[in-house]
Amino acid sequence: MQSFGYKKAGSLDEAARTGADGIKFLGGGTTLIDLMKLEVERPKALVDITALPLAAIEKQKDGGVKIGATVRNSDLAHNDYIKKNYAVLSQALLAGASAQLRNKATTAGNLLQRTRCTYFRDPSRACNKRVPKSGCGAIGGHNRNLAILGTSNDCIATNPSDMNVAMMALGARVHVLGEKGERFINIDEFYLLPGNTPEKETVLQPGDLITAVSLPALPAGTVTSYLKLRDRASYEFALASSAVVASIQGGKLTRLRFAMGGIGTKPWRNPEAEKVLLNGGTIQDAVAFFLKDAKPQSENGFKVELAKRCLTHSLKNALKA
Amino acid sequence: MDKIQTVKPSREARHDAPLKVTGQAKYTSDFNFPRMAYAVPVCATVGKGKIRAIDSSSARAMKGVLGVYSRENIGALYRPTKEASMDYRIDEARPPFEDDLITYYGQYVAVAVAETFELAQAAAKAVKVSYVSEKPKLGGKLEQEDLKKTDHERGDAAKAFAQAEVKVDHVYVTPTEVHNPIELHATVAHWTSPDKVTLYETSQAIHAQRNVMAQILGIPRENVQVITKFLGSGFGGKLWCWPHSAIAAATARKLNRPVKLVTDRHMAFTNVGHRPRTEQRIQLGADKNGKFKALIHDYASQSSMDDEYKENCGEVSGFLYGVSDVKVTSGVARRNQSVPTAMRGPGAVPGLHALESAVDELAIALNMDPVALRILNDTNDDQMTKKPFSSRHLKECLELGAQKFGWSKRNAKIGSMKDGDEIIGYGVAACTWPARRLDADAAVEFTRDGRVKISCGTHDVGTGMYTVLANIVHEETGIAKDKIDVELGDTNLPKGPIAGGSMATGSVVPAVVEACKKAKKNLLTAATKIQSSPFKGLKDDEIKFEKGLVTGKRGGKMDFASLLKKLNMSSAAGLASVKGNMAAMDKEKFSTKSFGAQFVEIGWNPLLAKLRVRRVVSVIDAGRIINFQPARNQIEGAIVMGVGMGLFEYAVTDARDGFIANANLADYVMPVHADCPEIDVTFLDYPDKEANAYGARGVGEIGLAGIAPAICAAVHHATGVRVRELPVRIEDLLAT
Amino acid sequence: MSEENSKVSRRSFLRHAGVAGAGVAALPLISNAQNAPPISESEKPYVPDGAQDVRLNINGKNYDLKIEPRVTLLDCLRENLNLTGTKKGCDHGQCGACTIHVNGKRVNSCLSLAIAHQGDAITTIEGLGTTQKPHPMQKAFMEHDAYQCGYCTSGQIMSATALLKEPCGKAAGDVREAMSGNICRCGAYKNILEAIQDVRGV
């Protein structure tokens, strides 16, 4: 780790003022400290935001919920209101990492979790995401764990988060405190495709501080679930995962969002695939539509079939209600 | 079935348990010294080439950095004697930084030493090395480029195979596997004078470490002391000296300060050995009744460019079954990869994956039950050495295992057994591991403070050596275990054997028993001879030692501590030297081998592409079991490692430049707690007096042998897919 | 909790460690000897540029240190405070050997900065129980032989004791999942599970 300055922010304003290029906000540190040790991240200074009043889970009047940026993954997963109303989120969180990492990792940190691509994580390798225009070691290299959707000729890195997949299916909104005050970003617009600028992963600007994530109220009769497939039984990133949020009223599917993890360069959602089912199409058609643009790499062709089984299973379970 | 003798379970805490559960057991990197500096190596980022230049200016400019060393300024480091014997064994003989050649990715090219770990780490990252890079030789089919040899031949295997009525002929592949003990390799080097060094090492072989390090450093052997009090396991990866030890010692000498060097997890994949990739062709033929007629085992294992390590895959093919015509041939294929080394069950474990998979495939070709096929080809003689087995109970292992597992419920039809959405598969494999004894010296001392001290320069790598020796001396003397001290892991102690090859327990126990007997005798002799003794004048058979008390025939009883005080003795000691049989195996009358049977149940859920090992039943014939609980623990642990070998583990080399692409514990997938199947281990109870006086053959390796092929057999039973290249991965099964 | 403040350097800690070692002597002694030379009081710990004053509360005791912000809690415990019971296995949150408690919750100390944990109550294996008075979980690990080499054991025990206060189901499968953040390469999982269920009375 290169040396850096450290400061614990005493107030939101103070934190927002210090935000700038080369300065990173420190929450749980499970991604940031890890990448600093590898010197993939080399911030000049860290602003520790864990003392800020951002650790609350607040039920909203409309039945929705606002989750503070520094709420720990374990606290969120075990929160009664979340378990009851947003089971998919609780399940996704508990499917990720380990109990001790979940005790550290925060909501905002998880939103910004970086890819596990081995070429990204090793500064001796070519990686366009780490060093723009330096090339991509993963294409033609070891890419079993990497993406089949949303890739470009410059980057095939997967977004590794479980939580983000649930957030995508739930239609979360990200609260951001920036230079011009507070603003809200729908999760659908939050992540960027790599294209030819894979170093840009979200729409956040330098200095922006995520303060919370809010979830909309879900109508009665909503079923949610998360399914994660991987080699070993636990403590491993997803090869494929799926989150489904389906509302069924009077025997009719009225609202549906689903997303997949482990296969996309961002938590992957395709509203058109949801429409297939909302318009009375079959699960088979919806899954095929969802995966139609899949582009396998040298080692991860099996993910197309794996993703198909994962999503099919999740949708079948959700829609049988 | 005749009554099969099995070991009754028993439970007792280990001798070293209190230290292990309170964090007080001292592992190598736990040793801290005043003025200690920290060393962090710099590793090559190319797979082949030459160092063009090393720019360490910015690293050296960091305040608190004590030095950056490389081929330019490390000073003299010499090549050690390299011999196959255990006294001078080293797998990577090139001293670090010897020249500017890079032959594998990750090779050490420099080291940064600083006042703190953080500074050393930052400085190492700041060292800029430029290379003249060449295309490394990597991947491809493993050809036997050199050292091609015939390991064993009897009869005319080619002819017998051609004539066999039923046969199988396939190639089996085991990938590069990495030991990955959770304790990282480390050295703390502490020069106590300009030519004397104490090395705290993560070593399974402290004496070899001392001999080799003395040569590398160019100092007398007597001036090197190696200490390994507790080892965070090794699985073979900590047997022989690795280059980081020389780096730590050399920089400590240069700086005249203690230096701590803890390798990082990435280096565990590139700088401290691995089990090499193997490719093995097995041709196995039988008559139509299943009697084996021919076995041809031809294999190659991968090695590095400079050192040859051969994975001895064919060793077990010569003796596991009765087959008249056998040929085993082998060779090494050189690649630009780091040096391989022994990993748990070297040779036998990958060899049995091939052989036992072939036996399963032959059973299917014969339409025979695979347990019955193995029993049919059982043999009482080792046909390779033409000696009878000292004790072989493979048949009982298979029979008892089948019974405990419920093998009779198996429906041989592929995919026919179900549990909900899961398709169940049953698989079986036999396993074996040779029993050998090494030379061992040990001392036992009764001291005037009422304690017994056992000393032996061997190791407890998690196998329970501390406990075994305390228990044995307790049995021999009746002295309470809390009065028994065991000292291991120091080259200043009597020379003990390496902790490897399942040999340590069987080698050390006889020496300790002998030393203990001598110490008792020496005490009693003194008691009858010395003027001040209350037992003076008694004959040898008129005095005895029981439960720590010396008793004379004509009355009089005294605890040994009081007696020693009376005799003006500080202690009564015995030193014993017991020879092993490694040097003259051919002179042995019997072939001593352990055997076992592994039964595995897997579940494959095709809807979720989920493959899990659900259950393992293991029956092991390893002679006498000295300590039941740690012995069972070792077999259970080996089974967990076998789950990893069967389903998860393989190191990935980027064939373009040698980059090890999954050199960390998130991407090199090892079994976690949730992967642990239900495990049922039974030990047969047939002490083997030919193996050693205690009848114990050791249990370190055999538990891993046979697990992977049993998993592959079970996967085939469930899915119809025969995976011959380990591990079995989800992508192998997605067509089902 | 009564707090004892101590100004420490790495050097003076080595002496403390020597004293602590003596406490073990009443046990069946397995030579754990340090072979450390005597430490002179005049030797001062190295203070790197950019070091800051950091006070940590560990096992109920305050420690005042001068360390850089980049010092992880794990390295601080092991290298600055000689509390070497907490182990390094991967340094990247991938093995769990470094698990400790912060404010009663288990975390990976390798991914924690020491400076960020001022004011937190930190508990390490050394603070859990002693050889004379072991924590029930330490006792259960001894009885069930829930280790082989013992290297991952501190982390396993810290995880297991934290688990007692977590919402974890009774079934073996629940414990296995909850303990999956601690890799045991010796594979003593079966005995670890038995030890934990024993303490939980399941």
**Catalytic status, residue B701:** yes
C-alpha distance from C61 to closest chain A C-alpha (Å): 23
CB contact under 8 A, A118 and B667: yes
What range does the domain containing A20 cover? Answer: 5-48
What average pLDDT score do residues B351-359 get? 98
pLDDT confidence tier of residue C26, bands split at 50, 70 and 90: very low
CB contact set of A199 (below 8 Å; sequence gap of 6+): A128, A129, A130, A132
User: Does A244 map to a domain?
Assistant: yes
- Does A116 contact chain B (CB < 8 Å)? yes
Percent of chain C with pLDDT over 90: 78
From the candidates B422, B701, B725, B731, give the one annotated as an active-site residue: B701
**pLDDT grade, residue A20 (50/70/90)?**
confident
Nearest to A100 among C50, C52, C96 (CB): C96
Residues of A in contact with B656 (CB under 8 A): 140-141
Predicted pLDDT of residue B24 = 96
For residue A85, being part of any structural domain is answered with no
Name residue B486's beta-bridge partners. B454, C30
Asked if the model's pLDDT at residue A312 lies above 80, the reply is yes
Q: What is the C-alpha to C-alpha distance for residues B415 and B604, in angstroms, rounded to an integer? A: 10
CATH code: domain C128-202 is: 1.10.150.120
**Based on the structure, what is the number of domains in chain A?**
2
Q: Would C48-127 and C128-202 be classified into the same CATH topology?
A: no
Rounded CA-CA distance C5/C8 in Å is: 9
Q: Which residue of B has its CA nearest to A119?
A: B661
| pLDDT for position C18 | 32
CA dist C199 and C202 (Å) reads 8
- Buried-exposed string C21-50: b where 16+ CB fall within 10 A, e elsewhere: eeebeebbbbbbebebeebeeeeebbebee
What's the gap in Å between the CA of B275 and the closest CA on chain A?
20
Q: Are B215 and B246 in contact (CB under 8 A)?
A: no
- What confidence category does residue C27 fall into, taking pLDDT thresholds of 50, 70 and 90? very low
Residue A101 has its nearest CB partner, among C68, C72, C108, at C108
pLDDT at C38 over 90: no
Distance from CA of C27 to the nearest CA of B (A): 6
Rounded to the nearest angstrom, the minimum Cα separation between C51 and chain A is: 10
Considering only CB atoms, which chain B residues are within 8 Å of A124?
45, 659
**Per-residue tokens: B524:** 């009693």
Q: Where are the domains of chain C?
A: 48-127, 128-202
Does pLDDT of C7 surpass 90?
no
pLDDT at position B147: 66
Q: Which of these, A3, A55, A96, lies nearest to A213 by C-alpha position?
A: A55
Determine, for residues A29 and C116 on separate chains, whether the beta-carbon distance falls below 8 Å.
Answer: yes
CB pairs under 8 A between A and B: 83
Sign of CA dihedral B497, B500, B504, B506: negative
Any chain A CB within 8 A of the CB of B182? no
The model's pLDDT over A111-132, given as tens digits with 9 standing for 90+, comes to 999 999 999 999 999 999 999 9
pLDDT at B2: 65
pLDDT at C31: 52
In this predicted structure, the answer to whether residue C69 has a pLDDT above a threshold of 90 is yes
Q: Does the pLDDT value for residue C21 go beyond 70?
A: no
Q: Please tell me the predicted confidence (pLDDT) of residue A47.
A: 97
Contacts of C129 in chain B (CB under 8 A): 21-22
C190 interfaces chain B, CB cutoff of 8 Å: yes
Residues B495-549 pLDDT 10s: 999 999 889 999 999 999 999 999 999 999 999 999 999 999 999 999 999 999 9
Nearest to C88 by CA among C171, C186, C155: C155
pLDDT value at residue C20? 33
Q: Does CATH number 3.10.20.30 belong to domain C48-127?
A: yes
Tokens 């970003």, located at residue = A185
- pLDDT band at residue B708, thresholds of 50, 70 and 90? very high
Return residues 124-183 of A near B (CB < 8 Å). Answer: 124-125, 137, 140-142, 145
Is the separation of the CB atoms in B9 and C68 below 8 Å? no
For residue C41, what pLDDT band results from cuts at 50, 70 and 90?
very low
Joined together, the tokens standing for residue C49 give: 């540029």
Whether C89 and B183 lie within 8 Å, measured CB to CB: yes
Q: Shortest CA distance to C17 belongs to which of B23, B188, B118, B229?
A: B23
| pLDDT in the model for residue B629 | 96
- Chain B residues in contact with A227 (beta carbon < 8 A): 608
Summarize the confidence of residues B212-226 as an average pLDDT: 98
Tens-place pLDDT, residues C137-153: 999 999 999 999 999 99
Rounded CA separation A64/B443 (Å): 73
Supply the CATH number for residue A275's domain: 3.30.390.50
Q: What is the pLDDT of residue B201?
A: 98
Average pLDDT value for chain B? 96
How large is the ipTM? 0.97
Question: What are the tens digits of pLDDT across the range B451-507?
Answer: 999 999 999 999 999 999 999 999 999 999 999 999 999 999 999 999 998 899 999
A286 lies in some domain: yes
Residues B143/B278, Cβ–Cβ less than 8 Å: no
Assess C71–B contact: CB distance below 8 Å, yes or no.
yes
Report the pLDDT value the prediction gives residue B461, as an integer from 0 to 100.
95
**How far, in Å, are B33, C70, C105, C112 from residue C102 at the CA level?**
28, 18, 5, 10
DSSP strand E in B553-607: where? 557-559, 571-578, 593-605
Contact state of C32 with B19 under an 8 Å Cβ cutoff: yes
pLDDT tens-digit series, residues B153-174: 999 999 999 999 999 999 999 9
Is the residue at A251 inside a domain?
A: yes
Please check whether residue C142 is in contact with residue B13, taking contact to mean a CB–CB distance below 8 angstroms: yes
Sign for the CA dihedral angle at A142, A148, A152, A155 comes to: negative
DSSP characters over B512-552:
HHHHHHHHHHHHHHHHHH-TT-TTTT--GGGEEEETTEEEE
Q: Are residues B33 and C43, on separate chains, in Cβ contact within 8 Å?
A: no
Q: How far is CA B693 from the centre of its chain?
A: 23
Question: How many whole angstroms separate alpha carbon A16 and alpha carbon A9?
Answer: 9
Tokens of C155: 């982390």
pLDDT at A295 exceeding the cut of 70: yes
**pLDDT, position B471:** 94
A239, closest residue in chain B (CA to CA)? B730
The answer to whether residue A274 sits within a structural domain is yes
Asked, for residue A193, whether it belongs to a domain, the answer is: no
Q: Do B673 and C27 touch (CB under 8 A)?
A: no
Enter the tokens of residue C179: 């303990």
Please state the rounded mean pLDDT for residues A295-309: 98
Q: What percent of chain B has pLDDT over 70?
A: 99
Q: What is the share, in percent, of chain A residues with pLDDT greater than 90?
A: 95
Using pLDDT thresholds of 50, 70 and 90, give the confidence band for residue C32: low
Which residues in chain A (276-305) have CB-CB distances under 8 A to chain B? 301-302, 305
Q: Which residue has the higher pLDDT, B584 or B277?
A: B277
**For A177-234, what is each residue's pLDDT tens digit?**
998 999 999 999 999 999 999 999 999 999 999 999 999 999 999 999 999 999 999 9
